Amino acid sequence: MGQQAMFERLKEACHDDWRAYVEHPFVRQLGDGSLPKESFQHYLKQDYLFLLHFARAYGLAVYKSGSLHDMRQAQGMLSAILDQEIDLHISFCAEWGIGQEELEALPEASATLGYTRYVLERGAAGNLLDLHAALAPCVVGYAEIGSWLIGRPDTRLEGNPYRAWIEEYADPGYQEVAQAEIAQLDRLAAEEPGPRRFAELAKTFRDTTRLEIAFWDMGLNLSA
């Protein structure tokens, strides 16, 4: 199998974990509208903190880049998070009764700490490819979740309080972001072939996928 299929190879290497992430009970309950309001609010709060660290990860990607193309790709994602996504998230939180002052004062839950620091550690210890292997489960996974929910018979959009969230990640604009991340991962991987390297990347990808599962668990269980 060629290196251009790297993302699919990584996903297949942790197939059961990936399905547990994309089809998590938290996700299913978003789809049918049964998720408790408190669970969604807890998730939104911690996701705000997650976005801040994700922005730092793309700042690290700029530093780790060895070409102008890679720097611009990372800078584009950094700008999108800082200039658009965080503002949208703050507005979304406000609609759910969560003010910016509360967001600024939030303590990080254990799942948030574990996930974000792992991504930053992999980027700091490894190279740009290692960092993208840690970033991809979030960026691409949310697009897959959005598509899965939109196409799932049990998903209810009419009257669903989580409809805006579902449609945000099913939107063609976000799907394009995910495809760009896949293309970047595949391109970087093509420069570093070999089974040993794949095993390293697969471990990072699997670890991050499991941390995504823990993040959903945190929201569902209201874990601190």
Residues serving a catalytic function are: 138, 212
Residues 18 and 145 sit within 8 Å (Cβ to Cβ) = no
Cα–Cα dist 180/15, whole Å: 22
The 3-state secondary structure of the chain, one letter per residue: CCHHHHHHHHHHHCHHHHHHHHCCHHHHHHHHCCCCHHHHHHHHHHHHHHHHHHHHHHHHHHHHCCCHHHHHHHHHHHHHHHHHHHHHHHHHHHHCCCCHHHHHCCCCCHHHHHHHHHHHHHHHHCCHHHHHHHHHHHHHHHHHHHHHHHHCCCCCCCCCCCHHHHHHHHCHHHHHHHHHHHHHHHHHHHCCCCHHHHHHHHHHHHHHHHHHHHHHHHHHHCCC
